[in-house]
Amino acid sequence: MATAVQPETRRDVSISLDKPIYTISVASEILETHPRTLMMYEHLGLVVPKRTSTNRRRFSQRDVMKLQTIQKLTRHHSVNLAGVRYILKLLKLLHENRIAPPVELKDIDVSRLEV
């Protein structure tokens, strides 16, 4: 009698949205922007990457998602960075209170962002 071969169990390879995995150069490549732009966003407090023990920036997937949202607001909606800060906070409040955002901002998803 042959024994049944157990199928190979697959490990969960999903990475937490908050795991700091991207260097500034990789994040800037993903976002197609200059690393100085990301440094400026950090300086303004729009994004706060984690730091390694050697003080190197590490961006998480959630950080990259937030940066993509910032890009969408600045590039497609012509919002300046001061406006981005307020719009993100307001959209997060609307989302938390289950209120629909304005039609013009339906393309902005803040459900998984830390604002």
**pLDDT for the residue numbered 6:** 59
Looking at the chain, the whole-number percentage of residues with pLDDT higher than 70 is 89
For the chain, give every domain's residue range: 24-105
pLDDT value of position 14: 72
| The pLDDT of residue 2 is above 70 | no
**Coil, strand, or helix at residue 99?**
coil
H/E element holding 62? helix 61-71
pTM: 0.84
Q: How far is CA 68 from the centre of its chain?
A: 7
Q: What is the pLDDT of residue 74?
A: 97
Residue 105 has pLDDT above 90, yes or no: yes
User: What top-level class would CATH report for the domain 24-105?
Assistant: mainly alpha
pLDDT-derived band at 15, boundaries 50, 70, 90: confident
